[in-house]
Structure 1
Amino acid sequence: MKLTLEQEFQLRVYQQQLMKLNPIQTQKHLIEVLKHMMLKDNFIKYLLRKAT
């Protein structure tokens, strides 16, 4: 799958913001992002189970 042009732009903006953080802030942010991705995965799995 590919990102849309808008998503690519958002990613670039996000990348620029991350470059301003120090390593500790970046690590904390990464952990939060991973947590949100896991929660999103759990929600999608829940919806798929509920749909069947």
Structure 2
Amino acid sequence: MNNVNKLTLEQEFKLAIYIQKIHKLNNINVKKHLIATLKQMMIKDNIIKYFIKNSMP
């Protein structure tokens, strides 16, 4: 489960695209919050995939 909290290359790419879109916004706090939220959502997806993959016999 060491790699569960890491983003895949595809997720890193998606995050970079979102970061570019977010940086067009003005409020710095909004940008930081959106980036953190997106990363947490991607990590959540990885954890769910990990448990589904490892729960099957």
- TM above 0.5, yes or no, is yes
Greater length-normalized contact order (CA 8 Å, ≥ 6 residues apart): 2
The number of aligned residues is 44
Specify which structure has the higher proportion of helix. Answer: 1
Question: 1:42 pairs with 44, 47, 50, which one?
Answer: 47
RMSD of aligned C-alpha atoms? Answer: 2.6
TM-score (norm 2): 0.54
How big is each residue's C-alpha offset from its partner over 1:8-49, in whole Å with a ceiling of 9 and x where there is no partner?
A: 8xx4xx43x413322211100011011101110110001111
Larger Rg, first or second structure (1 or 2):
1
After the TM superposition, list the runs of 4 or more consecutive aligned residues in structure 1 that deviate by more than 6 angstroms.
none
Gaps of 5+ in 1: none
2:37 aligns with 32
TM-score (norm 1): 0.58
